[in-house]
Amino acid sequence: CDENQIIGVFGANSAGKSTLMYTLSGIILDLLKKEKMRGGEQITVMGTITFNGQDISRLKPHLRARMGMILCPERRRLFPESSVLENLKIGAYMATRKEAKETLEYVLEIFSPLKKLLRRPAGFLSGGEQQMAAIGRAMMAQPKLLLLDEPLLGLSPAYQQVVMESVKHIRETKKISIIITEQFARPVIPIVDYAYIMENGSGVMSGSGQELLDNPDVKAAYFGV
């Protein structure tokens, strides 16, 4: 993923999209350790991951986060009993007070509906509002590479459009790189610079959005056509 790019990764359920995100963020190392301790299924990690010229393949998740690799996980994973503001502030644990204040203002500018919901428990938000809060929390960590794992899951078409426009705005204003995974490509493809198709844990096709749109098999499987 080059600097200031939006990359789309598309695939059916169990194609390996979330595993890819766990691997990039380092969470896979924790899963590997837990499975090994309980004698469960063995997870094999092969190859290397390079970020800003540094091999981070064995770097723990919190150290990758300090470098700017921030994951916004599938299904939001907010703290439901904590307020929206508390959830947002959790993302700013590495920031100075001044940085946290400025970033919070930025997040509330992008996701303006959250301004009136800051004191509300996150569990009482709609799915679209929760996704705004989840991406906002990730932005509070001031990412250099933002990993969005199925951010449109369960959202209405209207909220899907709002979220994608917000992601596009983040790239344009913050000049960061973004990787988005999704099962269906149609809402995402207009904002990506490049895209990959995953099947059974492997990339089977890649190209620009237009190149994927021109492939009839890809259109039928991932664009709802």
Pick the closest to residue 186 from 18, 17, 10, 6 (CA basis).
Answer: 10
How is residue 207 written in tokens? 């190209």
Residues near 46 by beta carbon (within 8 Å), at least 6 away in sequence: none
Domain ranges of the chain: 6-222
Mean of pLDDT values over 28-50: 71
Mean of pLDDT values over 116-128: 97
Q: Are strands 145-149 and 177-182 parallel, antiparallel or unpaired?
A: parallel
For 6-222, the fitting CATH number among 3.20.20.105, 3.40.50.300, 3.40.50.10330, 3.30.70.2660 is 3.40.50.300
Higher-confidence residue: 59 or 209? Answer: 59
Provide, rounded to the nearest whole percent, the portion of the chain with pLDDT above 90. 67
Q: Are strands 177-182 and 6-10 parallel, antiparallel or unpaired?
A: parallel
Q: What pLDDT, on a 0 to 100 scale, did the predictor assign at position 191? A: 93
Residue ranges of E strands in the chain: 6-10, 50-51, 54-55, 69-72, 145-149, 177-182, 194-199, 202-207
**What is the distance, to the nearest Å, from the Cα of residue 18 to the centroid of all Cα atoms in its chain?**
10
Under the banding of pLDDT at 50, 70 and 90, the label for residue 4 is confident
Residue that is written with structure tokens 């059974």 in the block: 200
Side-chain half-sphere CA neighbours of 152 within 13 A: 24
pTM (predicted TM-score):
0.91
Task: For residue 186, report the phi and psi dihedrals to the nearest 5 degrees.
Answer: -50, -50
pLDDT tens string 139-187: 999 999 999 999 999 999 999 999 999 999 999 999 999 999 998 888 9
pLDDT tens string 75-95: 889 999 999 999 999 999 889
